[in-house]
Structure 1
């Protein structure tokens, strides 16, 4: 019998429940939606979570589509799923937990007696560290971004190669291989000896169907590639970036991009212009280095100094 919160499944069964993480302001229990898919045959354990940031919903779309397709009779091992991590932020469609104004993916491994975010991080980290592999489903907030997978443990970490292989198996086509900030699950998981990646499934307000499709394909690639399901995966070469150049607005106005997401960028290329409302160019911004056009703001209007876009740098294929 395998349990996660109130969900409990014997081999060959699926169950759903709640993982309690505290109480809301009216004193009622707060429980994260969880699923346990216990395969009919022994095998590894995969942990999947979504909506660590409350407005990043593509991961929830992936869970919504993957779980109904998981037949425990066909699975070797166990899949543990937390469908919504940042419960309070999800309820109000905000990025940060409004109870303590915290970005959840900076709170790992958490604290059982800490703030709201630390308690949620602790509970989900306890679940995640029962697994052999961890997928922490994200997206580029509400900005527009290519679909990619992030390896955040750093190139000197003892599990770097294993995390990179997991990212390649997931197979979005693009990988950011850059050490992440403290408190990320994709940093904390490898420290516990568990290969962990952070798929960043595009960026949208609401759900983006194409990014969700790639996320669903990625989860099934991992299930097949690591022996949970029959059928292997021919991992295709991935385009990897090892850093970002970020660009802001030198003037206020309206942004007119001259590159599309995924475009190759050469140093000196024009990335975007800033115009006034009537289309007169006020500033032109060019690339500092070669790379790939990785991410762009969703809204066209900007104030001086506001974020506009990112270019992935240090590009190679592996």
Structure 2
């Protein structure tokens, strides 16, 4: 449930430092201390226009090993031609510095920071960091974009996660411009859900793998951020929206029925139809054990990158196509050399070996 919005903190100054209009400023936000008592601070870049307007945050690496978003934020930071015509933008390349320094998803106290918001100044380490982030960053903003990747040993086809029941959130999600939008309010304690509860409409981009900066994912993220800023009339930018956008209300993990070594037949982002073979599970000598099939017409929004599986392990995350979506029309909408969605499918597929099911040959057990 959306709560009454608290008063926004001013963007005019931060930690006693003036943030002038019409300039780009840097702030180092203390979030914790080392064992030696040295202050640990996350770097922020703040863009301000001379003209009043919304304040937007773009955060990356809330999980410290999810670096695609960091690559995207750095592209914006390094773009010398990037200018706001109104409002303010807070860019945060690494939100979870403590996890980033350990090449880890989690905080040193083994907590998931993205389950600790809005946090508490007197709580655990993760809760205290969450409180600082929520107070000092979210508390100054009108809108938010949080950039994520799949968890370890998985990859995600770019998709926005958003509570489409909130009109302001839905507008952000659609204008961001991914082909797939997964509808849902999110998990209690997550930055996205708690920011929305506090009256700061926020969306999440999920795309790619951990520990990587993948060109197609970075391009998707940068394009999406600029699309949103153009939607809010904060920059001049010709918005780029896919020919088709799917609002997915149901997703399902297809899990392995038994152990074995998989031969994948589909790739991240591929459009599939009900009962289509997704992978063949074999023993180590190549004897076919089982064939995994699509439970409905859908799109592969996530999948494992490790072909060795055990019983019950998740392999394919499928978003069910809306009833009015024709799989063939969706495939045809991507058929262009300049189509970012198709290029993303091809780029992500370079991390897994995919063989067409009709061309595969396995001896029977």
Structure 1 residues 53 and 6, CA gap change in structure 2 (3 angstroms): farther
Distance 2:63 2:48 in 1: 27
Distance 2:206 2:55 in 1: 22
| 1:202 and 2:208 correspond | yes
| 1:84 and 2:94 correspond | yes
1:235-260 per-residue CA deviation (whole Å, 9 max, x = no partner) reads 55412211211122222221112222
Q: How far does residue 96 in structure 1 lie from its aligned partner after superposition?
A: 1.2
Partner of 1:298: 305
CA contact (8 A) 2:277 2:292 kept: yes
Greater displacement, 308-317 / 123-132: 308-317
- When Rg is computed on C-alpha atoms for both structures, the one with the higher figure is 2
Structure 1 residues 254 and 72, CA gap change in structure 2 (3 angstroms): closer
As a proportion of its length, which structure holds more strand?
1
Greater displacement, 235-244 / 298-307: 235-244
Partner of 1:122: 131
SS of the residue corresponding to residue 43 of structure 1 reads coil
Gaps of 5+ in 1: none
Partner of 2:59: 49
Q: How far does residue 303 in structure 1 lie from its aligned partner after superposition?
A: 2.2
| 1:24 and 2:6 correspond | no
Greater displacement, 248-257 / 207-216: 248-257
Q: How far does residue 70 in structure 1 lie from its aligned partner after superposition?
A: 6.2
| 1:3 and 2:13 correspond | yes
Q: CA RMSD in A?
A: 2.2
SS of the residue corresponding to residue 81 of structure 1 reads strand
1:104-141 per-residue CA deviation (whole Å, 9 max, x = no partner) reads 11111111121121112111112113211101111112
| 1:145 and 2:156 correspond | yes
| 1:273 and 2:280 correspond | yes
How many positions carry a matched residue from both structures? 312
Q: Which of 177, 183, 190 is equivalent to 1:177?
A: 183
| 1:106 and 2:115 correspond | yes
Gaps of 5+ in 2: 1-10, 326-365
1:207-235 per-residue CA deviation (whole Å, 9 max, x = no partner) reads 11110111011111111111111245365
Greater displacement, 172-181 / 51-60: 172-181
Per the normalisation by structure 2, the TM-score is: 0.79
Distance 2:173 2:241 in 1: 10
Write the mapping of 1:230-241 to structure 2, written as runs, cut at 5 A.
230-231=236-237, 233=239, 235-236=241-242, 237-241=244-248
Partner of 2:72: 62
Distance 2:97 2:41 in 1: 8
Partner of 1:263: 270
SS of the residue corresponding to residue 275 of structure 2 reads coil
CA contact (8 A) 1:148 1:173 kept: yes
CA contact (8 A) 2:169 2:203 kept: yes
| 1:212 and 2:215 correspond | no
Partner of 1:310: 317
Distance 1:72 1:9 in 2: 18
SS of the residue corresponding to residue 293 of structure 1 reads strand
Distance 1:248 1:23 in 2: 42
CA contact (8 A) 2:177 2:240 kept: no
CA contact (8 A) 1:42 1:76 kept: yes
Partner of 1:189: 195
Structure 1 residues 51 and 35, CA gap change in structure 2 (3 angstroms): same
